[in-house]
Amino acid sequence: MKKALFGLLAIAFLCAAAEAVVVGIDKFDYSDGQIDNANGGTGWAWHYATQTQTNSLGMAPWGWSYFGNINSGTRDVSSQALYTTNGRAMRAYGKEEWEASFTGAGLFYYSVDVTALDTQDEFGIRGYNFVWERVFFGKVSGQAYFGITANHDGNPYTPAYTSISVVEDQAYHLVCAVDYNGDQLRLWVNPDNNDYDNGAGDNTADAILTGYDSGNWNSGLGLSSTGSCKWDNLIVATTFEQVQYKAENPDPADDDIIVTSDVTLSWDPARDPSDPESPNPSVTTHKLYTTDFSDPTDPNLYWVVDIANTGSRAEHGPISVADGEHSWRVDEVLSDMSVITGLVWTFEKLSIPVITDQPDDLFIYEGATAIFSITVESATPPIYQWYKYVDGVNDTELEDGGDISGTDTDTLSIANTEAADEGEYYCVVNNASATPVSSDMATLLLKRRIAYWDFEDSSYQSKAAGSPTTNIYGTPQITAGASFNGSAAMVFDAVGQMLLTDPNDTAYFDICNSGMTVAVWIKLTNQDAWRPYVSHDGEWGGWQLRNCGFDAQGEDEHERPCFTTWGPWDGGKISQHPANRPVYDGQWHYIVGTFDGSFKKVYIDGAVASLTYREDRPEILSDGYETVGTIDAVPVPVGIAGRAIWEDYDHLVVQTGETCTGIYDDVEIYNYALDAATIAQTYADATGTGVCPTPQAYDFDGDCIVNLNDFALFASKWLEDTSVQPTP
């Protein structure tokens, strides 16, 4: 594994925006194969306004991709270098490109090593304004030399060329400046220690494109070639010094943490500007400077030793190191006695505990045992204490007892979990250093029924602990003996009648966005299209179980249930499909919708009703619909026999004219997808009737058993020819 070019590494080398900051570094130390979606390197979470690595859509690096309209050729990693063949690869400076873009002001640099492996018309590094190419540095099309081209909205600037011709199979180090302040683009080919850049009026560039006054943004770069090229050591930075060759690949790495008492410093010599794949033969001596490793409060660097350059990796140590932050630097002395000043690398030595494995979030069934564990490295015996988060100040210190054990070990166990156990847990670890370290918080969520309306005891409130209160609209009535099993049920017999949960407690139901079940016993007296049985919006986000409204499959389509969800699937936002049969028939039905984060199903009377069949023969292709992602959250209450919506994504509307009359009982919502066996068992136990949850192949009589009766039906049609033949 190649070490990163840590001499250019500091993600926020200095805090001030005017000082040196690295935007991104990539040495292509990935596994061999196509580079698309690779996201290694350092930085690539750039925030232009603050000049820091704080892009809002992720501190993690943003990966390589291609532009869809030019996805030709190849872009593959091999032996820790990138190879393009008649293709290009692009990388944005940060995931949120609006935040990452250089917006027509400032100065930044590209640096890359490139070798043309065959004769070709063009190769180089490109700067993009989102998907539009604006600047190009490299071998210019139709030219034998390196140069610069640029355009603004398709209008080209006059190109600038170097006098350096391209030689096949020769490695080049290209340094490119995009200078919005000086209205210039500058290119250096194989810059050495004598090269510099003090701005538009004072530099040693090999080519300068002047008058570059484009207001275009610059959000990313691309590496491209019309033939085959090898690329390595890509850097995007804000100073010229950061893209020059210096001593590199430090160990300890920049911003590293060490826990050993001694450290050996090692590094690679600066590379040769005329041969970037080789060390610089002009380097005679490495001059090592460090802070006082015994006193981390002293920030000054002191000369330690001169080490003769052998052309190979150099080292010095071991050195005793006190706890704290330490810095070091390696300057390269050349044969003419000039000096390449290195960049400062920093590491921290800690003897406090180091948590190497954090506790995992848990999503388990109610009543199961929750186990949180951590792994710790510590020079002295670690001391553990587990907590349950409250507010960061009054957190609960856990003690062994009852269902809780392991509170002073690396593994916390909570048996017989219930709703009160849900929350966030963390461990504080200490040792002889008397410096406590807290683990990450881990969330415990239980797979449970989060809302349940059974309409017994003359109550229309949910019986699930912690669920929001329910409000009544219109005059629906709880009627004793009205249910399918002789118990009480809620009768909605007029337009405008519905139940809605507390509109100030809507976030409670967001726990269902990654997986859920909604179930209702219902005897419909309304067959109007799209009328809801149970809803959490479902029109502008969220979900709803309702009458369908399609008419493509027959006139009874609106009499079939439909489980509608909103989220990033089906190439859009909405996902809805009608069940296989109607339920508007004057009978009670048990209707269930499930979603597990990747698949959605509808059940009627304990059997799956979201089957998809082959068109050419009665073979089941699927028992549901692929629906991958999470349901869009909406600040809307849950409704029964009606719905409220987040209209235009900015205000709540109660749709009193869109209610669904009928008799309702045992309305349930779970925060996970019930399985087919559980749903079938619920129906069978409630009705005393057996049910076949999923049709079986070759079960010709539909009794859920493949037996001799099915064979007899099969045999009765044996060799029966129903084909139509030509007239003799």
The CA-based dihedral angle spanning residues 331, 332, 333, 339, taken in that order and rounded to the nearest 10 degrees:
-60
Mean pLDDT (the chain) is 87
Per-residue pLDDT averaged across 246-274, rounded? 88
Assign 714 to helix, strand or coil.
Answer: helix
The whole-number pLDDT of residue 177 equals: 96
Grade residue 695 by pLDDT with cuts at 50, 70 and 90.
low
Q: Indicate the burial class of 648 (C-beta count within 10 angstroms; 0-12, 13-18, 19 or more).
A: exposed
Q: Is the pLDDT higher at 691 or at 458?
A: 458
Q: Residue 279 contacts by C-beta under 8 Å, 6 or more apart in sequence?
A: 268, 269, 270, 271, 272, 309, 311, 312
Distance (Å, whole) CA 30 – CA 78: 8
- The most confident of 53-62, 98-107, 278-287, by mean pLDDT: 278-287
Least confident of 569-583, 607-621, 686-700: 607-621
Residue 350 has pLDDT above 70, yes or no: yes
The whole-number pLDDT of residue 160 equals: 96
The whole-number pLDDT of residue 728 equals: 81
Q: Give, in order, the Cα–Cα distances in Å from 366 to each of 106, 371, 402, 448, 671.
A: 57, 13, 17, 6, 11
The whole-number pLDDT of residue 9 equals: 30
The whole-number pLDDT of residue 492 equals: 96
The whole-number pLDDT of residue 7 equals: 31
The whole-number pLDDT of residue 702 equals: 66
Residue 328 has pLDDT above 90, yes or no: yes
Please write the tens of the pLDDT for every residue from 50-69: 988 887 765 567 778 865 44
Q: Give, in order, the Cα–Cα distances in Å from 322 to each of 349, 366, 431, 516.
A: 7, 49, 17, 53
Please write the tens of the pLDDT for every residue from 418-431: 989 999 999 999 98
Residue 23 has pLDDT above 60, yes or no: yes
- The most confident of 62-66, 107-111, 580-584, by mean pLDDT: 107-111
Least confident of 239-243, 436-440, 463-467, 497-501: 239-243
Distance (Å, whole) CA 298 – CA 485: 81
Q: Is the pLDDT higher at 248 or at 550?
A: 248
The whole-number pLDDT of residue 5 equals: 31
Q: Residue 593 contacts by C-beta under 8 Å, 6 or more apart in sequence?
A: 517, 518, 519, 543, 545, 561, 563, 600, 601, 602, 603
Distance (Å, whole) CA 351 – CA 381: 11
Give, as one character, the DSSP assignment of residue 708.
H
**DSSP assignments along 85-153, one per residue:** EEEEEEEESSSSHHHHSB-S-SEEEEEEEEEE-S--S-EEEEEEETTEEEEEEEEPTT-SEEEEEEEET
The whole-number pLDDT of residue 601 equals: 92
Least confident of 48-57, 145-154, 162-171, 327-336: 48-57
Distance (Å, whole) CA 48 – CA 182: 18
Grade residue 126 by pLDDT with cuts at 50, 70 and 90.
very high
Please write the tens of the pLDDT for every residue from 127-155: 988 888 899 999 999 999 999 999 887 78
The whole-number pLDDT of residue 618 equals: 54
Per-residue pLDDT averaged across 698-720, rounded? 74
Give, as one character, the DSSP assignment of residue 6.
G
The whole-number pLDDT of residue 572 equals: 52
Residue 10 has pLDDT above 60, yes or no: no
Q: Residue 573 contacts by C-beta under 8 Å, 6 or more apart in sequence?
A: 566, 567, 632
Among the listed residues 480, 646, 504, 670, the one whose alpha carbon sits nearest the alpha carbon of residue 566: 646
Assign 479 to helix, strand or coil.
Answer: strand
Please write the tens of the pLDDT for every residue from 536-576: 999 888 999 998 876 544 455 667 898 999 886 554 567 67
Q: Is the pLDDT higher at 97 or at 302?
A: 302
Per-residue pLDDT averaged across 676-683, rounded? 94
